[in-house]
Amino acid sequence: MFAATLAAADPALAAGGPHVIDDSEVETPGDCHLETWAAHASGDQWLGNIGAGCTPEALPMLEIGGMVTHARAPGFDDTHVGIASKLTLRPADTGLGVALAGSLGYGLDRSRLETASLIGAVTVPVSEALRFNFNAGWIWTEAGRGSEAFGGAQAELSVGSGITLMAEGFARDHGNAGGQAGLRWTSPDGRVDLDLLAGLFGDGESPTSAALGLTVRF
C-alpha cells in the first residue's frame, strides 16, 4: 500500500520536498526551511507531509529537523511525527560530498515507534549544471516488512531560469524498483522551491503516483 509504506519511509529519506533520494548537503548555516508536499497514488491513496529543518551557525555541518506525515487510503488513516538529522562528512564543493542521515518516526494512531532509518548519501557534482546523488542504507517499519536495505540514485540537471530537471530510481528488499521524474523551480533569491513529480512504484507496489511540493527558506 502506497500510503502505509511511504508514510513510514519518506520521512527517513526526504531530500527536499517529495524527492526520495537524498543529497549530501545540509541547509545553509544559520538558515531554516519549512517544506510541505502532498502525493497521490493509484487506488485513491494520499500522503501529506509538513516538516522543518535548521542548520546552526555553530554546527555548520549538521542539519536537525522534524516532520508530521499523514497517510490516507480506503480503510486506512495514519499520522506519524518524526525527527531527522543529517551530518555532512565531506562538502560537495570538494568534488565528492558525503553525508550520513538518520530518522525516527512515531505513530500517533498506534502509540508506538513506527519507523527508523540510517542512510549514507554521496553527491558527485559533474559540473555547475549537473550532479548525481547516490544513497544506500537501512530502513525499518513496524507496520511494514521490518528491516530492509535501501538504495538508489538521482540525477539533477539545471537548465536555467531557476528550473532543475530531476530523475531518480530506488529499490528496497521487496516489490518492484521505483522511480520519479519531474522538475523544480527555484526563486531568484533561492528562498522558494516548487516541485512537481510523477512516479512509478514509489512503494514497490502502487503503479503510479504524482506529487507537488513547496519549500520556503528563512
Reported as a pLDDT band with limits 50, 70 and 90, residue 13 is very low
The pTM of this model reads 0.91
State percent of the chain over pLDDT 70. 93
SS3 assignment, position 8: helix
Domains in the chain: boundaries: 2-206
- Kindly state the average pLDDT of the residues 133-147: 89
Please give the pLDDT value at position 75: 86
User: What does the buried/exposed string (b/e) look like for 93-112 if buried means 16 or more CB atoms within 10 Å of the residue's CB?
Assistant: eeeebbbebbbbbebeeeee
For 72-120, the pLDDT digits (tens) are 989 888 899 999 999 999 999 999 999 999 999 999 988 999 999 999 9
Q: What are phi and psi of 187, to 5 degrees?
A: -65, 155
Number of Cβ atoms within 10 Å of the Cβ of 149: 11
> Check: CATH 2.40.160.40 for 2-206?
yes
Number of Cβ atoms within 10 Å of the Cβ of 48: 17
The contacts of residue 46 (CB under 8 Å, 6+ apart) are 3, 38, 39, 40, 71, 72, 73
d(CA 214, CA 129): 22
Please give the pLDDT value at position 12: 44
DSSP secondary structure of 96-152 = SEEEEEEEEEEETTTTEEEEEEEEEEEEEE-SSSEEEEEEEEEEEETTTTEEEEEEE
